[in-house]
Structure 1
Amino acid sequence: MRSVAGLAALLAAATVYLYLLSAHLPRGPRQAEPGPEAEEPVEEVQEYRLKFPSDLEELRELAEQLKFYKREHYGYVLLLFSSAYLYKQSFALPGSSLLNMLAGAIFGPWLGLLLACLLTASGSTFCFLLSSVFGKQYVVHLFPEKVALLQRKAEENRSSLFFFLLSLRFFPMTPNWFLNITCPVLNVPMPIFFCSVCIGLIPYNFICVRTGSMLSEISSLDDIFSWGTLAQLLAIALVALIPGALIKRYGNAHLKMEGMESNGTTEVTKEEERKSR
């Protein structure tokens, strides 16, 4: 119970910090319609209430707000975005794809990609540490078969542990959040864990960040089917496919992945399902 209480206290403290940070967003002017006696538009002050985006429309609106504030409060927007990203990653909350797209919309494709990779690796490492301190016994208790399988495969591939973790990141054999909380049980060294996350999720982060950057530039359906946009989509597809193909080729030659499937199921769970029928 002490570990659960400690984790809950950290989550509550992080939530309060993030709320206070977003609640003190600097005020910014907006253009209002000119009055009947005014020749120039009058600047009004408007306050925004920020929240995590849940769909593309909310993502676009939030990106416009933060891009507006970034002109005069760059450091504040960077701190706010980084804090929100680390919050989601550290506590294994869903929504990283939308935040990656938001990074591309606010900071552009290349700085957005750099931020996404560093924040993903840092947040995943915080999740790794939280699991190591508070949750290792619960992970083993809740997912005994999956943890046992990963332990066996990690030991079989101990000499190529970094490439084993890379292959797990490139291909959806198991969810990323589950790997983050399970790696302490597997006795994965933290430097190897950090680098495998940072490098292994580059294709995924690039796709999301570049998509967010493109969404911020597209104003009509005609823009989607322009030659420039189609070329960018082709480049995104190549970036996603080529590293995965190389890792898969290396894995087939050097890694022992038998018993693990792309949907995260295992031979153990499939055998149990057959027995239950």
Structure 2
Amino acid sequence: MIDIAQHVPTPPPAWVKNMARFGLTAKGVVYCLVGILAFMAAFEIGGKSEQGSDKSGVFQFILEQSYGWILLAIIALGLLCYTIWRIIQAFKDTENKGDNAKGIGVRIRYAFSGVVYGALAFYAAQLVLGNGGGSNGDSRQSLARELLQQPFGQWLVGIVAVGTAIAGFHQIYLAISDKYKKKVQGSGLKHEAEAMMIRAGKIGYIARGIVWLIIAYLFLKAAMNANPNEAGGSGSAFQFLENSSYGSYLLGAVAIGLIFYGVFMFMRARYQVINVS
């Protein structure tokens, strides 16, 4: 990673900061809309469905609005900026995580996040250009299908399940340990407002962790049953919650949590210190 870093040019600091803030804002918009559509699906408002409440469903929703292609193009650009920022964090080590095992692990997580949001940016751009693909849930099933066709395919899908579960537990750990607070503490807001926003972040990280854990469970089922159709993304996770006991209330609670997560991204975009070297 260090050798690669030496060959990755660093944009001017102001560009990096602006890209990061624009990217965090775009991410906040996406999560707020995911939460709103999931809440509407939970209580059957406006004919929304759980499967249409994932990120690809949000992009379709944006595209259907007046001048939606312009709005979606802005979101795609914002997610691309977020991707570039994450890649810079990973390879330039702007957060000073170091080169030990723990630091490399964190930087790999930054890079993985960049790849994920880069794929979302690409998908949104495809929709803007009129080249829409399958849903996010279908892409998860396609991944499971491809892996199951490989030698030791069930083990490979199981590894994806474990990795996804670790990501989910990490989100919940961030919330419980209060480590996420460091990103916005000392923001200059009044104490009551800052405390309220920080609580929103805690709820948001927990909700996001729950969604990741359900996705991990779906991949585990796909691995155990060698059935790729049992895998899925956030839309499938929402459907899983809806089909549970008191499903509408569970899905509604998680949806509100995702809205809080989006709002917390806005707070990060405004107040987080962006390191550039």
TM-score for both structures, normalised by structure 2: 0.29
| Bigger Rg, which one | 1
Structure with greater helix percent: 2
TM-score for both structures, normalised by structure 1: 0.29
